[in-house]
């Protein structure tokens, strides 16, 4: 059984994708032990508690810097014997956490990585301004710096002629990130993800 925790900061839309997949038994040998939020008022906390998953707050304002905050989060994860960390809308730098959970942190990126990797602002606005016809979503293992590391899977999303940033953002989330995040977690739990250098290989399912 893979013991997992989700890190959140906001409304918990990606967390809900994991909770729904749990409800429909789409993730084998998986237990979401806890949700850890950087914000006490995050709606993700309510989603977690409604699903019967314990929720905790590690408030960054109580720490002198991001390193000490990330150490507190990492220590809490270790105290709960967490194997897998899921980034479900976590807005803070990961600090030291990736060093203690190498190839055990899964998150999503709202484009076909490495597209728009250097964009500081709204990625979907940049997609529309560049006239991109196909965008998408990427599920990945976090690298030691907490950024996108090995790509697990990607989902292509067509950009429609009448798209605005918000409509495109919503579709990338619903048709992309919500699908590939639980799918990637399921592959991890099945033992089918092999990291080979910078590549993540999805192994065939055992008979």
Provide the CATH number for the domain around residue 43: 3.40.50.170
Residue 37 within any structural domain of the chain: yes
- Categorize the per-residue pLDDT at 205 as very low, low, confident or very high, splitting at 50, 70 and 90: confident
Residue 207 within any structural domain of the chain: no
Retrieve residue 33's tokens. Answer: 């032990």
Q: Calculate the average pLDDT of the chain.
A: 97
Cβ atoms within 10 Å of 17's Cβ, excluding its own: 23
Residue 118 within any structural domain of the chain: yes
CA distance 4 to 181: 13
- Categorize the per-residue pLDDT at 120 as very low, low, confident or very high, splitting at 50, 70 and 90: confident
Percent residues over pLDDT 70 in the chain: 100
Residue 116 within any structural domain of the chain: yes
pTM of the model: 0.97
Retrieve residue 1's tokens. Answer: 């059984």
Domain range holding 177? 2-202
- Quote the crossing angle between the two packed helices 178-189 and 13-23, to the nearest 10°: 50
CA–CA distance from 41 to each of 10, 59, 60, 61, 112 (Å)?
Answer: 8, 11, 13, 14, 31
The answer on pLDDT for 60 being more than 80 is yes
Cβ atoms within 10 Å of 192's Cβ, excluding its own: 14
The answer on pLDDT for 178 being more than 70 is yes
In the chain, how many domains are there? Answer: 1
Residue 151 within any structural domain of the chain: yes
β-bridge pairing 105-109 and 134-142? antiparallel
Residues 149-161 have pLDDT tens digits of: 999 999 999 999 9
Retrieve residue 16's tokens. Answer: 């809900």
* pLDDT score at 115: 97
Mean predicted confidence (pLDDT) in 48-74: 97
* pLDDT score at 207: 67
């Amino acid at each position: 059984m893979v013991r997992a925790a989700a890190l959140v900061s906001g409304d918990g839309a990606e967390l809900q994708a994991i909770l729904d997949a749990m409800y429909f038994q789409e993730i084998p040998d998986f237990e979401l032990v806890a949700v850890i939020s950087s914000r006490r008022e995050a709606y993700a906390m309510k989603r977690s508690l409604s699903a019967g998953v314990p929720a905790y707050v590690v408030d960054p304002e109580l720490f002198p810097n991001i390193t000490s905050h990330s150490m507190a989060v990492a220590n809490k994860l270790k105290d709960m014997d967490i194997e897998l960390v899921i980034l479900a809308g976590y807005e803070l730098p990961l600090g030291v956490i990736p060093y203690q959970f190498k190839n055990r942190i899964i998150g999503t990126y709202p484009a076909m990585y490495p597209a728009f990797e250097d964009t500081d602002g709204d990625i979907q606005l940049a997609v529309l301004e560049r006239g991109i016809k196909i965008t998408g979503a990427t599920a990945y293992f976090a690298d030691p710096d907490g950024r996108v590391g090995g790509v697990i899977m990607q989902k292509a999303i067509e950009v429609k002629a009448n798209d605005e940033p918000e409509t495109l953002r919503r579709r990338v989330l619903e048709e992309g990130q919500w699908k590939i995040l639980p799918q990637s977690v399921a592959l991890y739990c099945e033992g089918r993800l092999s990291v080979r250098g910078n590549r993540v290989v999805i192994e065939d399912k055992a008979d």
